Structure 1
């Protein structure tokens, strides 16, 4: 009977097999001593099944139904577990005696993304499946949402984006993100009476009767458009959007020329920017101008 020729393994596989089973890994680091002590947990979420936090899901369902608010969704995040994506980046590689190229050193890096307005954002995911769909090579690291917000602040990100790329992304803007990081309650700027007081005071400081009235309302930027691809007629959700969250409506006397109008707006915005509370709790502003209706 003829003898079957022996097959030769590809070089990189042969090198990997030759280097396996030894006392060290492919980078020459000993395996000994790597086992965790008895009873020690890998992390605080060892029994976690990777599903989304029930409180967060409930708050989002209320928001979609028009019975909740984005404030309640952020409040639900205060005790929620999320996953942040970590990517391994090669810092140094080495070649073993068998010719196998392997990682000698690698760094684990947080992933940040760019929001539509150009600002930096940290992605976080409510469940493992959403993260895997977004970036299959990313490693999910379970943390409390407050810790994720702290990481976003450390990365100089201006917002935290939950489940980007999914049918229901939710944006936690800078003031809410900072409140979450400090484990404080968050009050949207459009509901903050102190913000309304700053607006009134700015008109008084202006000393110009051309401004008839000023008041704040929720901006169109808070609206999140979920499920557009599959449900084009679905109305927007009133919370979780990335745009301006505060709309300032200013009623003016008729007859102002462009130069006078620009001077008024520049003065008002300067007063708002110099107010510590306003600058801290307002992420972005949209101004809407309207003329006082004629009485004749």
Structure 2
């Protein structure tokens, strides 16, 4: 089995938490680990519950008084828990052909999204993680660090609290913004993209107008069935094209394919847009 190394910051956090002794074998008992000078972690006063600012931003999204940008902004400064599980690394043959000396490494948990993309699950509370995977070990990190771990694992989505009342998905551009500690601008609100798209459609004589709108997949659904306007896995961006009368289905499909290839070859577009759908108007 190929050995998967933990990202350095996750390995360090794991090594500094959860045992009866430190790395030198000295007992934790009787030692004061509180205060800003604690070198082991930043969460010594953490009670394992969800970050209040994130919870409020998510509630505002459900109420319709906030947006997914606000949720990602709150997540940027929140502590989350990354699930770690043991995986078999080596297995040697013992006496009489029986396996022996098994060694287990700790590995990040990744999941596959419905569209096939790899996703890294993170949790805002210990309770949410334990409800999802009782055997996983929680490692507390800031969300930006979790996003870096997702990039290292070649994940394209950060899934917050899978299995909860509302699972919030941070799509690739938002995940990258978290990792780089930058403000995230959703593609459907990104004025920079207007120029890129306009240039891409300029060579198409059958197109007389173009608009950018939220894609049909940005919404998420609560466990109770309520649709909220954010936190979905995509499609993220809808390209609305006004075309001339008389174009048939085959011609429209060919037109959409040409635009997708053209935009897919633009690195700025690919960095800013997670997923795309195209619709037509007359």
TM-score, normalised to structure 1, is 0.78
Matched, 1:263 2:261: no
Matched, 1:141 2:139: yes
**Aligned-pair distance for 1:255?**
1.0
Matches within 5 A, 1:209-288: 210-228=206-224, 232=225, 234=226, 236-288=227-279
The equivalent residue for 1:13 is: none
1:239 alignment partner, SS class:
strand
Q: Whole-Å Cα distance in 2 between the matches of residues 36 and 200 of structure 1?
A: 64
Instruction: Encode CA deviations 1:24-44: one digit per residue, 9 max, x unaligned.
Output: xxxxxxx99411585555532
Structure 1 pair 129–213 and aligned structure 2 pair: CA distance change class (3 A) = same
Instruction: Encode CA deviations 1:203-253: one digit per residue, 9 max, x unaligned.
Output: 2133x1x2121111011201000123xxx4x3x110001120111111211
**Aligned-pair distance for 1:201?**
1.7
The equivalent residue for 1:67 is: 65
C-alpha RMSD over aligned residues: 2.4
Q: Which runs of 5+ in 2 are unaligned?
A: 1-21, 93-98
Higher mean alpha-carbon deviation, 247-256 vs 279-288, is at 247-256
1:186 alignment partner, SS class:
coil
Q: Whole-Å Cα distance in 1 between the matches of residues 166 and 257 of structure 2?
A: 37
Q: Whole-Å Cα distance in 2 between the matches of residues 193 and 123 of structure 1?
A: 31
Matched, 1:166 2:164: yes
Structure 1 pair 204–33 and aligned structure 2 pair: CA distance change class (3 A) = closer
Structure 1 pair 179–32 and aligned structure 2 pair: CA distance change class (3 A) = closer
Q: Whole-Å Cα distance in 2 between the matches of residues 43 and 102 of structure 1?
A: 36
Matches within 5 A, 1:120-135: 120-135=118-133
Q: Whole-Å Cα distance in 2 between the matches of residues 129 and 205 of structure 1?
A: 54
1:91 alignment partner, SS class:
strand
Instruction: Encode CA deviations 1:36-69: one digit per residue, 9 max, x unaligned.
Output: 5855555321211000001101111111111111
Q: Whole-Å Cα distance in 2 between the matches of residues 281 and 240 of structure 1?
A: 17
TM-score, normalised to structure 2, is 0.82
The equivalent residue for 2:192 is: 194
Matched, 1:57 2:48: no
The equivalent residue for 2:4 is: none
**Aligned-pair distance for 1:265?**
2.0
Q: Is the Cα contact below 8 Å between 2:256 and 2:278 reproduced in 1?
A: no
Q: Whole-Å Cα distance in 2 between the matches of residues 166 and 246 of structure 1?
A: 26
Structure 1 pair 201–88 and aligned structure 2 pair: CA distance change class (3 A) = same
Instruction: Encode CA deviations 1:89-148: one digit per residue, 9 max, x unaligned.
Output: 243579xxxxxx997642111000010111100000000000000000000000000000
The equivalent residue for 2:8 is: none
Q: Whole-Å Cα distance in 2 between the matches of residues 65 and 283 of structure 1?
A: 25
Q: Whole-Å Cα distance in 1 between the matches of residues 203 and 267 of structure 2?
A: 16
Q: Which runs of 5+ in 1 are unaligned?
A: 1-30, 95-100
